[in-house]
Chains A and B, each alone.
Chain A
Amino acid sequence: MASFHAVIIGGGGTGAAVAHDLTLRGYKVTLVERGEVTSGTTGRHHGLLHSGARYAVKDKESAVECIDENMILRRIAPGSFELNDGLFVALTEEEANYSHEFIEACHECGIPARRLSAKEVLACEPNVNPDVIMGVQVPDATMDAMRMPLRFFATAKHSGATIKTYTEVVDFIKRGNAVSAIRVRDHTTNKEYEIGGDIFISAAGAWSGKIGDMVGVEVPIRPSPGVMLAVRGRLCNMVINRLHASGDGDIIVPQRALSVVGTSSWVVDDPDNLGLPRDHIDMMIKYGSELIPGVRTAPFRAAWSAARPLIGPRGADTGRELSRTFKCFDHADEGVEGFVTITGGKATTLRGMAEATANVVCQKMGLEIPCGTREFTLLPHTAYYA
């Protein structure tokens, strides 16, 4: 095929997966990232490979997306996850009653869900609140927020994609109504230059509103941060969730020798200025210790914020809606050609988001090339720097 040049802006998990997908479909791919790869939201997220159970009652579409992608990632990224399952625990009668609806919804979405008595919960997870009434076991897992996407970068790079880090997009150049090049600044040399291409894909997460502004299109994104708290010691082996409709501080993800409590949610204007509200850290300790009392006494390791790209009322929603969970905006709808934005979603669904985006790109280029990422075993993360 004629090799089109696709230029991706943003080196988080989404950009990584789009780079891998388009490379497999035969595109020439260049990805630019202003910092190190995964230095945006991706590296900082909670590290939960969602089973989808959390969404099963309220948002079946997200739940199905999660379990499908969860199973695909286990297959294409073997050795990358702590496969210890997840446990939703009920601490009140109300939560125990909710378990019937919850398990049924999981099964409807194809998520294995197994009821455990209080005794069984405590036998598996001795540190859980002894007042636990019952629990539900689901196929959640722990992912390494950086190293899992690094496998997509490594694979794309070894198949020919060019990954340019410390390279920030500072402007877009248009020919007529079509984007024809980006202007970038290489921070390792302080020099600016242009990169031309046939199609430009913004995968800039919480920054995609800012990128849209540079192009002159409306991307209705508001950065919505959440706080996470890591304490020393592995207080659980499974991911511990509160069995209720989602709330703050209701997930504890064990990882390596740490336990990570998250998260909260608010809205800011600047994704580079999130702050770290003290009351949110306190909230993580309060709610986290309801699940596992040891959170309160475990030694502090770190607290930090990360921003979701909240698809919201930043203006009219003119984009093509591929899913309620993530969106791929083809800005041709607003009269700008050669420019697509992919945003929203989850780290768990990065591959699916990339498949949907690459389908839009192929459609725009008038090509029909099937997606190859479902069965493609990724290189180990260590291949990225080698």
Chain B
Amino acid sequence: MAEQIIEFKVQRYKQGQPAPTYQTFKTLCDDNTTVLVALQDIRRDQDGSLVLRHSCHHASCGTCGMRVNGKEELGCVVKVLDLGTSTVTVEPMRNMPIISDLVVNMEPFYDRYNAVGMPYVRQSEYLDEADLAEGLEAYQRYENCIECNLCVSGCPIMGSDELYLGPATLAAARRVIEEPRGVPTKPLLDWVDSENGCWRCHVAYECNTACPSEVYPGDQIMALRRDLTKRKFRGLFGRGGKG
């Protein structure tokens, strides 16, 4: 089993401090050690004041988003030795207010995201050849989006324009339009059809790269644009006809 002492350069910030600083720690990592576990080890053995968010430890809750060597990652699924660097730089996500150290305030994320009202459970498309067990109407599963904010951290438009609805919210809107589950879709289409909605995106797909959960928010934004274009043409030529 490979073992190596790795240096962690961690961004630190406590409320009241004028600006964030960096602090360096050394800790032993083996080939199973994730960035999250290494930071927990540092907190336990070296500095109990280091704060970070975590919960599920398997890429499902979305709380451990951070920047590792400058890239948006879930700390719980990045193995330290796989990074191949002897110093690992860890910073909080961008485009969000920092509460302390690696913890950002998620309120702005949910203020935008909740406006969509996306149900959390969707119909499962896995094993679609399987018979439905007696008593069930459909096999269900949770939506892909784990509300981690990594796409928002990676998005260059979010950084310059805080009114932009952003990738996670637009992707959620697209999911509702695709599978409404009782949520009205027309107001959503109107909402995303705006300067701060899907037309604001620069389509460089940084969000697709940042997303750890197969949402591909950039692709969803493109799909929304197609939906809106279709709707526009239907409005111009279609449906009611001349009469």
| Docked complex: A36-70 residues within 8 A CB-CB of B | 36-39, 42-44, 47
B142 touches A260 (CB 8 A): no
Residues of B within 8 A of A126 (CB): 127, 129-130
Residues of B within 8 A of A230 (CB): 58-60
Cβ distance A364 to chain B, nearest Cβ, rounded Å: 32
Cβ distance A139 to chain B, nearest Cβ, rounded Å: 9
Residues of B within 8 A of A35 (CB): 51-54
Interface residues on B, range: 35 or more
A257 touches B214 (CB 8 A): yes
Residues of B within 8 A of A236 (CB): 127
Taken together as a complex, chains A and B put the C-alpha atoms of A281 and B58 apart, in Å, by 14
Cβ distance B105 to chain A, nearest Cβ, rounded Å: 8
**Residue of B55, B76, B99, B114 touching A302 (CB-CB under 8 A):** B76
Residues of B within 8 A of A386 (CB): 107, 110-111, 114
Taken together as a complex, chains A and B put the C-alpha atoms of A83 and B15 apart, in Å, by 43
A190 touches B136 (CB 8 A): no
| Docked complex: B85-124 residues within 8 A CB-CB of A | 99-100, 103, 106-107, 109-111, 113-114, 119-121, 124
Beyond contacts A124-B130, A385-B106: 4 other A-B pairs, Cβ-Cβ < 8 A, are A87-B133, A144-B60, A230-B60, A237-B130
A145 touches B55 (CB 8 A): yes
The 7 closest A-B pairs by CB, nearest first: A43-B55, A302-B58, A188-B100, A304-B57, A234-B126, A146-B61, A123-B131
A302 touches B77 (CB 8 A): yes
Number of CB contacts from chain A to chain B under 8 A: 180
Taken together as a complex, chains A and B put the C-alpha atoms of A385 and B96 apart, in Å, by 14
* Cβ of B234 under 8 Å from chain A: no
Cβ distance A383 to chain B, nearest Cβ, rounded Å: 8
| Docked complex: B172-210 residues within 8 A CB-CB of A | none
**Residue of B32, B37, B103, B136 touching A36 (CB-CB under 8 A):** B103
* Cβ of A366 under 8 Å from chain B: no
Residues of A within 8 A of B134 (CB): 114, 137
* Cβ of A79 under 8 Å from chain B: yes
B141 touches A82 (CB 8 A): yes
B-contacting 9-mer, from A176-184, A208-216, A272-280, A343-351 = A272-280
B14 touches A189 (CB 8 A): yes
Residues of A within 8 A of B153 (CB): none
B32 touches A276 (CB 8 A): yes
Taken together as a complex, chains A and B put the C-alpha atoms of A26 and B150 apart, in Å, by 39
Residue of B nearest to A382 (CB): B114
Residues of A within 8 A of B48 (CB): 168, 187
B60 touches A258 (CB 8 A): yes
Residues of B within 8 A of A303 (CB): 32
Can you offer 23 A-B residue contacts whose CB atoms are under 8 A?
A35-B51, A36-B53, A79-B121, A80-B120, A81-B121, A85-B133, A85-B136, A87-B133, A114-B134, A144-B120, A145-B56, A166-B103, A188-B99, A228-B58, A233-B126, A237-B139, A254-B141, A256-B60, A257-B141, A302-B34, A302-B76, A381-B120, A385-B109
